[in-house]
């Protein structure tokens, strides 16, 4: 039996995979997602957030993400079809799910537009604070904290 195992070239491949899987830290394969802790919205701001349509998201900000679940879903994701391949078949996240769970608008004009603006001026006018260029304002991106 042992001699048959050693004669088979695939046996060594299998052995190699087995050893490497034992040596490898399982944490290496985990896909982590970015999550930021947002502060509680001010009571005065809540009605406006509800009106604008971001009230549901403001409530969802505390949801702790299960990295193991996200990793196992990513493993079943197909690039070509944009679907999850499960044993029972394919399924995907639809716009209806978004509308039901996040309460966001799914029709109307798309989020596209020009990006050539004087960002410092815009921040000063609409956010009430002027970010320092090079520190909190890098290119056209602003730091969250």
Partner 1 sequence: MLPLGEEPIEEQLHAHCRTYILGLIGGVLMPDRTNNKVHLMYLTFLTNLRITTRYSWGSACLAVLYRELCRSTYVKVKTMGGCASLLQSWAWYHMPYMLAPEVAKKI
Distance of CA 102 to the CA centre of its chain: 15
Among 110, 132, 134, 135, binds partner 1 (CB under 8 A): 110
Determine the 3-state secondary structure of 41 from DSSP.
Answer: coil
**Based on CB atoms, which residue is closest to partner 1, 19 or 48?**
48
Residue 17 interacting with partner 1 (CB under 8 A): no
CA distance 77 to 83: 6
CA distance 45 to 55: 10
Residue 68, C-beta contacts closer than 8 angstroms, at least 6 positions apart: 30
CA distance 74 to 31: 8
Size of the site for partner 1 (CB under 8 A): 66
Q: Taking CB under 8 A as the rule, which mask of x and - marks residues 61-80 in contact with partner 1? A: x-x-xx--xx--xx--x-x-
Q: Which residues bind partner 1 (CB under 8 A)?
A: 30-36, 38, 41-42, 44-45, 48-49, 51-54, 57-58, 60-61, 63, 65-66, 69-70, 73-74, 77, 79, 82, 91, 93, 95, 97-99, 101-102, 104-111, 113-115, 117, 119, 122-123, 126-129, 138, 140-145
């Amino acid at each position: 039996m042992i001699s048959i195992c050693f004669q088979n070239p695939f046996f060594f491949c299998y052995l190699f995979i087995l050893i490497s899987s034992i040596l490898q830290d399982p944490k290496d394969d985990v896909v982590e997602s970015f999550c930021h802790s947002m502060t509680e919205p001010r009571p005065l701001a809540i009605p406006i957030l509800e009106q604008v349509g971001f009230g549901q998201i403001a409530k969802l900000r505390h949801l702790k993400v299960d990295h193991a679940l996200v990793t196992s879903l990513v493993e079943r994701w197909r690039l070509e079809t944009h679907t999850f391949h499960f044993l029972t078949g394919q399924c995907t996240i639809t716009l209806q799910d978004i509308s039901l769970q996040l309460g966001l608008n799914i029709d109307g004009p798309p989020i596209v537009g020009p990006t050539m603006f004087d960002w410092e001026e815009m921040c000063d006018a609409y956010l009430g604070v002027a970010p320092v260029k090079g520190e909190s304002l890098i290119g056209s991106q602003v730091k969250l904290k």
